[in-house]
Amino acid sequence: MGYQLTFKRFGEHSILVEWPPAIDESILNDVLSFKSKIEYFLQEESIQVNHAYNSLLVGYDSLEIDFTDKIETIKKVYRKNTDNGKQVFRLWKIPVCYDVDFGIDIVALASSKKLSVQEIIKLHSQSVYMVYFIGFLPGFLYLGGLDDLLHTPRKATPRLRIEKGAVAIGGGQTGVYPNESPGGWNVIGNSPIDFFNIKNESPSFASAGDRIQFYPVSKKEHLNIKTLVEAGVFQIESEVIRD
Protein backbone atom coordinates (compact mmCIF):
# COMPACT_ATOMS: atom_id res chain seq x y z
CA MET A 1 0.00 0.00 0.00
CA GLY A 2 1.06 3.55 -0.49
CA TYR A 3 2.22 3.65 -4.12
CA GLN A 4 2.00 6.88 -6.08
CA LEU A 5 -0.57 5.90 -8.71
CA THR A 6 -1.64 7.69 -11.87
CA PHE A 7 -5.22 7.58 -13.12
CA LYS A 8 -5.82 8.29 -16.81
CA ARG A 9 -8.80 8.17 -19.06
CA PHE A 10 -8.26 5.46 -21.73
CA GLY A 11 -10.59 6.08 -24.68
CA GLU A 12 -14.32 6.41 -24.16
CA HIS A 13 -15.11 3.77 -21.58
CA SER A 14 -12.02 2.86 -19.58
CA ILE A 15 -9.71 4.20 -16.91
CA LEU A 16 -6.05 3.16 -16.76
CA VAL A 17 -4.36 3.03 -13.36
CA GLU A 18 -0.58 2.80 -13.35
CA TRP A 19 2.04 1.92 -10.73
CA PRO A 20 5.74 2.76 -11.03
CA PRO A 21 7.21 0.97 -14.09
CA ALA A 22 8.68 -2.22 -12.62
CA ILE A 23 8.06 -5.96 -12.67
CA ASP A 24 7.88 -6.55 -8.97
CA GLU A 25 5.97 -8.88 -6.66
CA SER A 26 5.00 -6.17 -4.18
CA ILE A 27 3.57 -4.08 -7.01
CA LEU A 28 1.64 -7.13 -8.20
CA ASN A 29 0.25 -7.67 -4.70
CA ASP A 30 -0.92 -4.07 -4.57
CA VAL A 31 -2.47 -4.36 -8.07
CA LEU A 32 -4.33 -7.52 -7.05
CA SER A 33 -5.53 -6.03 -3.78
CA PHE A 34 -6.83 -2.91 -5.58
CA LYS A 35 -8.49 -5.12 -8.19
CA SER A 36 -10.35 -7.17 -5.61
CA LYS A 37 -11.40 -3.99 -3.76
CA ILE A 38 -12.86 -2.53 -6.96
CA GLU A 39 -14.68 -5.77 -7.66
CA TYR A 40 -16.01 -5.82 -4.10
CA PHE A 41 -17.02 -2.16 -3.63
CA LEU A 42 -18.21 -1.43 -7.16
CA GLN A 43 -19.89 -4.74 -7.84
CA GLU A 44 -23.21 -3.13 -8.73
CA GLU A 45 -21.59 -1.31 -11.68
CA SER A 46 -21.20 -3.12 -14.97
CA ILE A 47 -17.44 -3.08 -15.14
CA GLN A 48 -14.54 -5.36 -15.86
CA VAL A 49 -11.14 -4.96 -14.29
CA ASN A 50 -8.06 -6.31 -16.06
CA HIS A 51 -4.48 -5.96 -15.00
CA ALA A 52 -0.93 -6.46 -16.21
CA TYR A 53 2.44 -6.08 -14.39
CA ASN A 54 2.02 -2.53 -13.14
CA SER A 55 -1.29 -1.44 -14.57
CA LEU A 56 -4.98 -1.96 -14.16
CA LEU A 57 -7.75 -1.12 -16.61
CA VAL A 58 -11.27 -0.46 -15.40
CA GLY A 59 -13.65 -0.87 -18.33
CA TYR A 60 -17.27 0.31 -18.18
CA ASP A 61 -19.96 -1.31 -20.30
CA SER A 62 -21.32 2.07 -21.32
CA LEU A 63 -20.24 5.06 -23.34
CA GLU A 64 -21.66 7.80 -21.17
CA ILE A 65 -19.19 8.18 -18.40
CA ASP A 66 -18.34 11.11 -16.18
CA PHE A 67 -14.62 10.41 -15.93
CA THR A 68 -13.87 12.96 -13.21
CA ASP A 69 -16.49 11.35 -11.04
CA LYS A 70 -15.44 7.76 -11.81
CA ILE A 71 -11.78 8.49 -11.15
CA GLU A 72 -12.66 10.07 -7.78
CA THR A 73 -14.69 6.97 -6.91
CA ILE A 74 -11.93 4.48 -7.67
CA LYS A 75 -9.31 6.66 -5.93
CA LYS A 76 -11.45 6.42 -2.80
CA VAL A 77 -11.67 2.65 -3.21
CA TYR A 78 -7.85 2.45 -3.29
CA ARG A 79 -7.65 4.16 0.10
CA LYS A 80 -10.22 1.86 1.71
CA ASN A 81 -9.16 -0.83 4.08
CA THR A 82 -10.93 -4.12 3.78
CA ASP A 83 -10.88 -7.58 5.06
CA ASN A 84 -13.11 -8.91 2.31
CA GLY A 85 -11.33 -12.25 2.60
CA LYS A 86 -7.71 -12.76 1.78
CA GLN A 87 -7.30 -14.34 -1.62
CA VAL A 88 -6.04 -17.90 -1.65
CA PHE A 89 -3.09 -18.55 -3.94
CA ARG A 90 -1.92 -21.93 -5.14
CA LEU A 91 1.31 -23.51 -6.34
CA TRP A 92 0.70 -25.60 -9.47
CA LYS A 93 3.04 -28.43 -10.47
CA ILE A 94 3.21 -28.65 -14.24
CA PRO A 95 4.72 -31.63 -16.09
CA VAL A 96 7.03 -30.78 -19.00
CA CYS A 97 8.75 -33.14 -21.41
CA TYR A 98 12.10 -31.58 -22.35
CA ASP A 99 12.88 -34.29 -24.96
CA VAL A 100 14.52 -32.85 -28.10
CA ASP A 101 11.51 -34.01 -30.15
CA PHE A 102 9.52 -31.33 -28.31
CA GLY A 103 12.29 -28.98 -27.20
CA ILE A 104 13.43 -28.18 -30.70
CA ASP A 105 15.67 -25.33 -29.56
CA ILE A 106 17.00 -26.82 -26.31
CA VAL A 107 20.26 -28.14 -27.79
CA ALA A 108 21.08 -24.83 -29.49
CA LEU A 109 20.11 -22.93 -26.35
CA ALA A 110 22.32 -25.15 -24.17
CA SER A 111 25.33 -24.79 -26.44
CA SER A 112 24.90 -21.01 -26.63
CA LYS A 113 25.10 -20.99 -22.81
CA LYS A 114 27.94 -23.53 -22.70
CA LEU A 115 25.72 -25.67 -20.49
CA SER A 116 24.43 -29.22 -20.87
CA VAL A 117 20.82 -29.93 -21.75
CA GLN A 118 20.49 -31.51 -18.29
CA GLU A 119 21.63 -28.25 -16.68
CA ILE A 120 19.09 -26.26 -18.71
CA ILE A 121 16.32 -28.61 -17.57
CA LYS A 122 17.45 -28.32 -13.96
CA LEU A 123 17.59 -24.51 -14.06
CA HIS A 124 14.17 -24.28 -15.72
CA SER A 125 12.42 -26.75 -13.41
CA GLN A 126 13.90 -25.70 -10.07
CA SER A 127 12.54 -22.12 -10.12
CA VAL A 128 9.13 -21.27 -8.76
CA TYR A 129 7.45 -18.82 -11.13
CA MET A 130 4.98 -16.10 -10.19
CA VAL A 131 1.86 -15.76 -12.36
CA TYR A 132 1.57 -12.01 -13.06
CA PHE A 133 -1.38 -12.00 -15.46
CA ILE A 134 -2.92 -13.69 -18.49
CA GLY A 135 -2.54 -11.98 -21.85
CA PHE A 136 -1.20 -12.21 -25.41
CA LEU A 137 -3.22 -15.38 -26.22
CA PRO A 138 -6.20 -16.91 -24.40
CA GLY A 139 -4.69 -18.69 -21.39
CA PHE A 140 -1.11 -17.46 -21.86
CA LEU A 141 0.44 -16.91 -18.41
CA TYR A 142 2.97 -14.12 -17.95
CA LEU A 143 5.45 -15.69 -15.53
CA GLY A 144 8.16 -13.98 -13.49
CA GLY A 145 11.22 -15.66 -12.03
CA LEU A 146 13.22 -17.10 -14.93
CA ASP A 147 16.83 -17.78 -13.87
CA ASP A 148 19.16 -15.10 -15.31
CA LEU A 149 21.30 -17.84 -16.87
CA LEU A 150 18.38 -18.85 -19.09
CA HIS A 151 17.61 -15.42 -20.52
CA THR A 152 17.77 -15.84 -24.31
CA PRO A 153 16.85 -13.37 -27.06
CA ARG A 154 13.77 -14.12 -29.17
CA LYS A 155 14.49 -15.70 -32.54
CA ALA A 156 15.19 -13.14 -35.28
CA THR A 157 12.48 -14.68 -37.46
CA PRO A 158 9.41 -15.96 -35.61
CA ARG A 159 8.14 -19.44 -36.49
CA LEU A 160 4.80 -19.54 -38.24
CA ARG A 161 3.63 -22.42 -36.11
CA ILE A 162 4.44 -23.35 -32.55
CA GLU A 163 2.77 -26.43 -31.10
CA LYS A 164 0.11 -26.28 -28.43
CA GLY A 165 1.78 -26.84 -25.05
CA ALA A 166 5.21 -25.63 -26.21
CA VAL A 167 7.31 -24.43 -23.27
CA ALA A 168 9.54 -21.62 -24.41
CA ILE A 169 11.92 -18.83 -23.43
CA GLY A 170 11.80 -15.32 -24.91
CA GLY A 171 14.17 -12.73 -23.49
CA GLY A 172 13.79 -12.81 -19.70
CA GLN A 173 10.46 -14.61 -19.81
CA THR A 174 9.27 -18.18 -19.98
CA GLY A 175 5.81 -19.44 -20.83
CA VAL A 176 3.62 -22.16 -22.26
CA TYR A 177 1.74 -21.69 -25.57
CA PRO A 178 -1.87 -22.60 -24.69
CA ASN A 179 -2.72 -23.22 -28.34
CA GLU A 180 -0.96 -23.55 -31.64
CA SER A 181 0.19 -20.10 -32.76
CA PRO A 182 3.01 -18.24 -34.50
CA GLY A 183 5.78 -17.26 -32.12
CA GLY A 184 9.36 -16.12 -31.76
CA TRP A 185 10.39 -17.77 -28.51
CA ASN A 186 12.93 -20.59 -28.11
CA VAL A 187 11.09 -23.87 -27.56
CA ILE A 188 12.64 -26.11 -24.90
CA GLY A 189 9.86 -28.60 -24.17
CA ASN A 190 6.15 -29.35 -24.13
CA SER A 191 3.51 -29.64 -21.45
CA PRO A 192 0.51 -31.96 -21.91
CA ILE A 193 -1.62 -29.75 -19.63
CA ASP A 194 -4.48 -27.65 -21.01
CA PHE A 195 -3.75 -24.01 -20.21
CA PHE A 196 -7.00 -22.84 -21.76
CA ASN A 197 -10.19 -24.84 -21.93
CA ILE A 198 -13.51 -23.16 -22.56
CA LYS A 199 -15.33 -26.19 -21.16
CA ASN A 200 -14.09 -25.39 -17.67
CA GLU A 201 -15.92 -22.92 -15.49
CA SER A 202 -12.68 -20.97 -15.25
CA PRO A 203 -10.95 -21.55 -18.60
CA SER A 204 -7.50 -21.01 -17.07
CA PHE A 205 -6.70 -23.07 -13.97
CA ALA A 206 -4.16 -20.53 -12.69
CA SER A 207 -4.84 -16.96 -11.55
CA ALA A 208 -2.58 -13.98 -11.03
CA GLY A 209 -0.73 -14.39 -7.74
CA ASP A 210 -0.51 -18.18 -8.09
CA ARG A 211 2.82 -19.88 -8.64
CA ILE A 212 3.96 -22.44 -11.16
CA GLN A 213 6.71 -25.01 -10.96
CA PHE A 214 7.65 -27.28 -13.85
CA TYR A 215 8.79 -30.90 -13.38
CA PRO A 216 10.44 -33.01 -16.07
CA VAL A 217 8.62 -36.07 -17.43
CA SER A 218 9.57 -38.63 -20.07
CA LYS A 219 7.94 -38.84 -23.49
CA LYS A 220 5.93 -41.85 -22.30
CA GLU A 221 4.66 -40.00 -19.21
CA HIS A 222 3.86 -36.98 -21.40
CA LEU A 223 1.72 -39.19 -23.62
CA ASN A 224 -0.03 -40.80 -20.64
CA ILE A 225 -0.84 -37.44 -19.06
CA LYS A 226 -2.02 -36.06 -22.39
CA THR A 227 -4.45 -38.97 -22.73
CA LEU A 228 -5.82 -38.32 -19.24
CA VAL A 229 -6.08 -34.56 -19.93
CA GLU A 230 -8.01 -35.22 -23.12
CA ALA A 231 -10.34 -37.56 -21.24
CA GLY A 232 -10.89 -34.76 -18.73
CA VAL A 233 -9.67 -36.80 -15.75
CA PHE A 234 -6.17 -35.45 -15.08
CA GLN A 235 -5.86 -33.64 -11.79
CA ILE A 236 -3.06 -31.06 -11.77
CA GLU A 237 -1.11 -31.37 -8.55
CA SER A 238 -1.34 -28.17 -6.51
CA GLU A 239 -1.09 -26.87 -2.99
CA VAL A 240 -2.24 -23.75 -1.18
CA ILE A 241 0.56 -21.27 -0.59
CA ARG A 242 0.92 -20.27 3.04
CA ASP A 243 2.58 -16.95 3.71
Name the residues that contact other proteins, by CB under 8 A.
8-14, 16, 18, 21-23, 48-57, 59, 61, 63, 133-140, 142, 179, 196, 198, 202-204
Could you tell me if residue 147 is left (phi over 0), alpha (psi between -120 and 50 degrees) or otherwise beta? beta
Task: Say if CB 67 and CB 12 are below 8 A apart.
Answer: no
How is the chain split among helix, strand and coil, in percent rounded to 5?
Answer: 25, 30, 45
| Choice between 68 and 81, CB closer to other proteins | 68
Residue 99 CB, shortest distance to other proteins, in Å, is: 26
Cα 145 from Cα 44, distance rounded (Å) = 37
Residue number, 89 or 142, with CB nearest to other proteins? 142
Cβ-based neighbours of 120, under 8 Å, separated by 6 or more: 98, 106, 109, 110, 113, 150, 188
Q: Give the up-direction half-sphere exposure of residue 108: CA atoms within 13 A in the CB hemisphere.
A: 13
Minimum distance of other proteins from residue 180's CB (angstroms): 8
* For other proteins, the closer CB: 25 or 239: 25
> Cα–Cα distance between 37 and 87 in angstroms, integer?
11
16/123 with CB nearer other proteins: 16
* Comparison of 55 and 190: residue with beta carbon closer to other proteins: 55
Which CB, 125 or 179, lies closer to other proteins? 179
Best CA proximity match to 229, nearest among 181, 194, 197: 194
3-state SS, residue 184: coil
Question: Rounded to the nearest whole angstrom, what is the least distance from the CB of residue 67 to other proteins in the complex?
Answer: 8
- Least Å distance, CB 114 to other proteins, is 29
The CB-of-219 to other proteins minimum distance in angstroms stands at: 26
| Sign of the torsion formed by the C-alpha atoms of 155, 158, 160 and 161 | positive
Min. distance of Cβ 136 from other proteins in angstroms?
6
